[in-house]
Structure 1
Amino acid sequence: MMKQNPELSILGFENSYEESDIIVFGAPFDGTVSFRPGSRFGPSAIRNESYGIETYSPYQNADLTDIKGNDAGDLPLPFGDTVHALNMIKEFTLNIVTDNKIPIMLGGEHLVTLPAVEAVLEKNTDLCIIHLDAHTDLRDDYLGIKLSHATVMRRIWDKLGDKRIWQFGIRSGEKYEFEWAHDHTFLTPFNLDGAEKALEAIGNRPIYLTIDLDVLDPSVFPGTGTPEHGGVSFKELLDFIIKLRGKNIVAADLV
């Protein structure tokens, strides 16, 4: 896989693939976008901005230089063929988990999560999902399309079944999506409360963490495809992530 910018890796992820435990890669796809386009530029923007921060986190007393990570670059996804793009993401993610490494994917719209979950599920059959988002993403179809950023968690539910998806920060969606979630997922509206209870229920089962940045309030993060007022603060998001430390996170994405 070729990097769009071969001289730029995300900060702290400059080790070789072979020696690394964590593999970051970009999935620059926004082929089903329904409002603001441009999330396909997310991976390159994250890499560029990462050089304005430090590798050390005083919040966790941890440093990126203490881990072995590799930035594998961006997948050359075809914008005109959604199914082929998703298959490419699944294949690449499966290669990573087969090599006993942890994939961290940078999107891209939220549909890219589906093939990554499918790949991770092949090795972790009892996989659970922690989903941070402004939107339910539980429609069965959107404008007649089954594969959409608005249907991604419903398609993941198709693979996992009931009560294996924990959703936080949700504040937008159709009424029937919230009603459907009551019976099929664990949904916490508006905020990130209840992390401890969710983690207790999950136990030692493997976790796929997917974070849609529109979970943040637009005053914090306005540059998203579908902003929604009333979101969480950056500190609230950070505190939630810190609670996951030491848990069995087998894959993650940021979209």
Structure 2
Amino acid sequence: MLSKPFDGFMACEKDPREAHTILFGAPFDSTTSFRPGTRFGSAAIRQESYGLETYSPYQDKDLEDTAVCDLGDLELCFGDPARALDAIQDQADAILAEGKRPFLIGGEHLVTLGAFRAAVRKYPDLHVIHFDAHADLREDYLGTPLSHACVLRRCWELVGDGRIFQFGIRSGTREEFRWAQDHVTTHKFDLDGLETALTAIGDKPVYFTVDLDVLDPSVFPGTGTPEPEGVSFSALRQAVTLVCSRANVVACDVNELSPHYDPTGVSTAVACKVIREMLLALPPR
């Protein structure tokens, strides 16, 4: 029988009714403050995922054995962040309503806010684990509150103090770092303190957001706002595996790949491998 070839993330072609995790893409970068291009990230990740194996020797697990479905990219209103966020929230709402875990692939980091709004509506005691080079805690960026530079500030407005744990942060304004001292838990420069945060959070629901520029740009140059002195791939791989296997992750995302800034394709391969390891570490719901 003739059939349409599967063009989603490798091996993530299970029936959505049977899947515990649902991938979808948000190709949006209208608020990018430096170099645009993350709108092409999710499509590049899907295409290049076939350059990797479905099997992880790190975890001795295979994506072929997991119940994950990739729904593909949303069609978003380019140039209108509010409408784009509404569309992302609607998709995440629908996934959560079916008892599934949404896994968003960006796109710029602002896309997190759409999925986060859906998750916090279902889980009012939601906590956040945030890997990033940038604090993303500005009140506004050039007068707009809907910017990738403000996304964690907008998330804080929904959950309040003591719920957000940031790691790898090495860039931000003086005001952001001072504000953070009173409202969020920020671990600068590296991923140290993750075990302590996981213990503090316990079994409370977690939204896990990974901005790939947490990596050192020598490992991951394909991003719009590279920040030197980031973490290694090995450190990030171990950390995402720990979070996904230990925390009660009810929704998550990976974002900020701009594939054309790294014509070697290595950055895209790194993004694919991070996503593979996360998917394999996430338990069935």
Do the structures match in fold with TM over 0.5? yes
Q: Which residue of 2 aligns with 1:118?
A: 117
Question: Which structure has greater helix proportion?
Answer: 2
Q: Which residue of 1 aligns with 2:250?
A: 250
Q: Which residue of 1 aligns with 2:13?
A: 14
Q: Partners of 1:189 and 1:98 in 2: how far apart?
A: 36
- Structure 1 length-normalised TM: 0.96
Deviation at 1:55, TM superposition (A): 1.1
Q: Partners of 1:32 and 1:242 in 2: how far apart?
A: 30
Q: In 2 relative to 1, CA 52–126 (structure 1 residues): closer, same or farther, beyond 3 Å? A: same
Q: Helix, strand or coil: the match of 2:18? A: coil
Q: Which residue of 1 aligns with 2:43?
A: 44
Q: Helix, strand or coil: the match of 2:51? A: coil
Identity %: 55
Give 2:223's aligned amino acid: T
Q: Which residue of 1 aligns with 2:93?
A: 94
1:157-213: CA deviations, max 9, x gaps?
A: 000000100000000000111111111001000000011100000000011110000
Deviation at 1:66, TM superposition (A): 2.0
Give 2:191's aligned amino acid: L
Q: Helix, strand or coil: the match of 2:39? A: helix
Q: In 2 relative to 1, CA 86–71 (structure 1 residues): closer, same or farther, beyond 3 Å? A: same
Give 2:51's aligned amino acid: G
Deviation at 1:111, TM superposition (A): 0.4
Q: Helix, strand or coil: the match of 2:64? A: helix
Q: Partners of 1:19 and 1:205 in 2: how far apart?
A: 25
Where does 1:1-255 land on structure 2 (aligned, <5 Å)?
7-244=6-243, 245-255=245-255
Q: Helix, strand or coil: the match of 2:125? A: coil
RMSD of the TM alignment (CA)?
1.1
Give 2:12's aligned amino acid: F
Deviation at 1:242, TM superposition (A): 2.0
1:121-180: CA deviations, max 9, x gaps?
A: 111111100000000000000000010000000000000000100000000000111111
Count of equivalent residues: 251
Give 1:76's aligned amino acid: E
Give 1:152's aligned amino acid: V
Deviation at 1:7, TM superposition (A): 4.0
- Structure 2 length-normalised TM: 0.86
Give 1:57's aligned amino acid: S
Q: In 2 relative to 1, CA 51–107 (structure 1 residues): closer, same or farther, beyond 3 Å? A: same
Give 2:249's aligned amino acid: I
Q: Partners of 1:7 and 1:80 in 2: how far apart?
A: 30
Q: Helix, strand or coil: the match of 1:157? A: helix
Q: In 2 relative to 1, CA 64–85 (structure 1 residues): closer, same or farther, beyond 3 Å? A: same
Deviation at 1:216, TM superposition (A): 0.3
